[in-house]
């Protein structure tokens, strides 16, 4: 079984599913986005997709020391995300994804700055 990452062509939400071979030819199936109800993927034939889950990539802290194994896993995950992003043909959907990612990064920076201020105040004895 193989894990596959899909992206909603409408809102850009990411999903992870497990691809497994089908034993019998079954009727076509599909999966819709939990966010906007747009079709994410439809299929028939030799494979089935099971265990659909919303996928949110992890953001690593700067202070974490990465091993070669974790760097390789992160690189593979980044490549899968890039391929999912590149498969979106709708320019407006791609723009929404970029805007959401930028907003998430800005929120992360704000949280880190607030944490740093709290640590600084705590270290100086001011509360």
pLDDT, position 123: 73
The mean pLDDT value of the chain amounts to 79
Q: Are strands 39-43 and 2-7 parallel, antiparallel or unpaired?
A: unpaired
pTM over 0.75: no
Confidence of residue 71 (pLDDT cuts 50, 70, 90): low
């Amino acid at each position: 079984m193989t894990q596959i990452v899909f992206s909603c062509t409408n809102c850009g939400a990411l999903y992870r599913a497990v691809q497994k071979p089908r034993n019998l030819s079954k009727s076509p199936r599909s999966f819709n986005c939990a966010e906007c109800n747009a079709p994410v993927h439809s299929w028939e034939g030799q494979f089935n997709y099971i265990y659909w889950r919303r996928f949110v990539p992890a953001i690593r802290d700067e202070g974490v020391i990465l091993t070669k194994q974790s760097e390789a896993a992160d690189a593979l995950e980044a490549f899968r995300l890039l391929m999912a992003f590149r498969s979106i043909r709708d320019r407006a959907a791609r723009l929404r994804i970029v805007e959401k990612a930028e907003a998430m990064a800005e929120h992360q920076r704000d949280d880190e700055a607030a944490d740093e201020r709290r640590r600084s105040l705590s270290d100086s004895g001011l509360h």
